[in-house]
Amino acid sequence: MTERTRGGTLAAVLLVLAASWGVVLAGVTALREPLGRGDYVAIWGVKARALSRTGDVASLFRLDPEGAVSHPEYPPLWPALLALASGAVAGRYDDLAAGTLWPLLALSAALLAGRAVRGPAWARAGAAAFVALLPYWRIYPGYAEGLLAVLLLAAVGELDRLDENPAATLRLAAFLVLACWTKQEGAVAAIVASAGLLLAGRRKAGLVTGLSSVAFGILPWLLVLVLRGPGISRADYVFWRASLGKLATASEALLSLALLPNVAWLLGAGALLALAPEVRARRRGLLFGAAAMAVLLLGATAWTRLDPTWLVRWSWDRLAFLLVATLVPVFAEAASEPFRSET
């Protein structure tokens, strides 16, 4: 065993320990008391209890028909999973039992981040540690982005396997369909991924993921909303009323609240990618896709009904979590490239 191999093994062991610490903290945060913060109370928990007690998707719309708080237009996968997990653990809906999903999600995200890395064991363990240690898991227990991050990381893990394994296309499509059922950002990710695959000349994968996301993810929920729910008129976005002023306000808020305070992270990420031309080239689709998703999510603020500054203040870190988690495998590969290419 060479000195570098020994160093890599030691680093992998330490990084697995760091990843485990992240998962333990996520578990402690979610399991020491009933879930009960912000959007869990207002959106996810209230819907999960309604589903658990009635078994009827229409109960989601009755809670808040005006769409003032609980976002009846949000897809139901996360509350349904909370209800199922709670029912399995406690036999009824219970905000403490529902928390058992949280460490499982953090663990899944860490494992899937490691799986998505093409690189040495320490880079895989590094990606797992990075994802598990993200503050999101300790700040927002019970929120839906945790599930969405797991699904997006699972999808990222399939991108590199499309050539090797025919089933990878189907798995990718399945993960993106589930992402559509989790949050609207999941639908945006599915559309971006499908368009990216088509643009990259992967017609079959692009068509399969795009069509399945629309046919099995986006349209069915829209139909449920229209036929059994309040329609789409209660959504946060009005697509026939764009405002460049709102976009400018949101961009300003994003700059001051998110980008400037985190400029060191952005520069560090850029420098890491600059050191890894092979990874940059191999992962350019994913990098462009993440950038496109960020632009689309920011661009959507032009259509928001809400105060754009308020919207950015209360959502940017959770959306950034999704983008960062999705890109962590790329950064881990970039960190390992200088070590790999010289050996």
Partner 1 sequence: MSRKNLPPRARRLAAGALFGSALMTLLLAARPDAPLSVSLSLGRKFWRAPERSRLLNAPFLREDPEFAFAVTAADARWPLEVDVVLTLPPAIAGETAEKQRRAAALVLSPRRVLLERGSPAEGRFGLRPLPRSGP
The residues of the shown chain that bind partner 1, judged by CB under 8 A, are: 15, 18, 21-22, 25, 28-29, 31-34, 36-37, 41-42, 45-47, 49-50, 53-54, 58-59, 61-65, 69-70, 90, 92, 94-96, 126, 129-130, 133-135, 138, 265, 268, 271-272, 274-277, 331-332, 334-339, 341-342
In total, the chain counts a number of residues equal to 343
- What is the CA angle 292-297-302, rounded to 5? 120
Q: What are phi and psi of 237, to 5 degrees?
A: -120, 140
CA distances from 207 to 199, 216, 281, 326, 336 (A): 11, 13, 23, 22, 33
Beta strands in the chain (DSSP E): none
Helix (H, G, I), strand (E, B) or coil at 107: helix
DSSP state of 33: S
Say if residues 247 and 225 touch (Cβ distance below 8 Å).
Answer: no
Minimal distance, residue 219 CB to partner 1, in Å: 22
In whole angstroms, give the CA distance from residue 159 to residue 112.
13
In whole angstroms, give the CA distance from residue 306 to residue 262.
25
Identify the H or E element spanning 149: helix 145-159
Q: Given 3-state DSSP classes, what are the helix, strand and coil percentages for the chain, each rounded to the nearest 5?
A: 75, 0, 25
Q: What are phi and psi of 304, to 5 degrees?
A: -75, 150
Minimal distance, residue 58 CB to partner 1, in Å: 7
Closest CA to 85 of 98, 102, 104: 98
Minimal distance, residue 61 CB to partner 1, in Å: 7
Minimal distance, residue 240 CB to partner 1, in Å: 26
Say if residues 246 and 312 touch (Cβ distance below 8 Å).
Answer: no
Residue with smaller CB distance to partner 1, 5 or 54: 54
- Point out which residues pair with 237 in neighbouring strands: 304
Residue with smaller CB distance to partner 1, 9 or 243: 9
Residue with smaller CB distance to partner 1, 31 or 294: 31
Residue with smaller CB distance to partner 1, 44 or 181: 44
Minimal distance, residue 3 CB to partner 1, in Å: 13
Phi-psi region of 206 (alpha: psi -120 to 50; beta: other; left: phi over 0): alpha
In whole angstroms, give the CA distance from residue 243 to residue 133.
38
Residue with smaller CB distance to partner 1, 77 or 177: 77
Residue with smaller CB distance to partner 1, 90 or 200: 90
Residue with smaller CB distance to partner 1, 86 or 249: 86
Residue with smaller CB distance to partner 1, 4 or 241: 4
Minimal distance, residue 308 CB to partner 1, in Å: 20
Minimal distance, residue 24 CB to partner 1, in Å: 9
Minimal distance, residue 25 CB to partner 1, in Å: 6
Residue with smaller CB distance to partner 1, 199 or 274: 274
Minimal distance, residue 305 CB to partner 1, in Å: 18
